[in-house]
Amino acid sequence: MKANKLTKETILDLNAVDRSFPKFGIGDTIDVSQIVKEGNKERIQKFLGDVIAIKNNGISSTFTIRRIGANSIGVERIFPFYSPIIEKIKVVKKGDVCRAKLYYVRERIGKAARIKEKIQTKKQKEELAAGKKKKPAEKPKVVEGENSSNE
């Protein structure tokens, strides 16, 4: 039986490069560095904003970023995740939201459009930057028969 959706293996078969971007989610503020071609010159342009939507659809996965531009005008960009024009992505801060899509932010103005930041300790930020996963603390083993109070 053939798979209906594209898997990681079939995506790589379609000549898409495996992207090693940091993990980001809805509500996070990210900085996307994209390659812009002007004539025969290339330069890097940054787009800093909040992630308001992510669509996971195999090789055509996209994410939408919104920022407030000049004169308080909202600017949104939809970036294809596997696009070669994206050079790198940097997570500036993590957002604390309870929704999958933040389209309601479009109608908000000023302070009402802010997204609450997820508070992390320095240790958590360092672990996140290093890519380490925190292991759960092991419980001490209790052997029956030793030091039992029922004797």
pLDDT per residue rounded down to tens, the chain (151 residues): 455 666 666 666 666 677 788 889 999 999 999 999 999 999 999 999 999 999 998 788 899 999 998 888 899 999 999 888 899 999 998 999 999 999 999 998 888 888 898 888 888 878 777 764 444 555 555 556 555 555 4
Q: Determine the pLDDT at residue 25.
A: 92
Dihedral, CA of residue 86, residue 91, residue 95 and residue 100, to nearest 10: 30
- Cβ neighbors of 102 (< 8 A, separation 6 or more) are 26, 27, 50, 51, 52, 53, 66, 115
Single pTM value for the model: 0.70
Are 30 and 46 in contact by the 8 Å Cβ rule? The answer is no
Q: Which two tokens stand for residue 106?
A: 């479009």
**DSSP, residue by residue, 75-129:** EEEEEETT-TTEEEEEEEE-B--S-S--GGGGG--GGGG--PBPP--HHHHHHHH
Cα–Cα distance measured from residue 66 to residue 115, given in angstroms and rounded to the nearest whole number: 12
For the chain, where are the alpha helices, taking DSSP H only?
8-13, 122-130
Query: Position of tokens 């809805």?
Result: 26
Phi, psi (degrees; rounded to nearest 5) at 132: -85, 150
What is residue 108's predicted lDDT score, i.e. its pLDDT? 87
Domains in the chain, CATH or no CATH each: 8-118 (2.30.30.790)
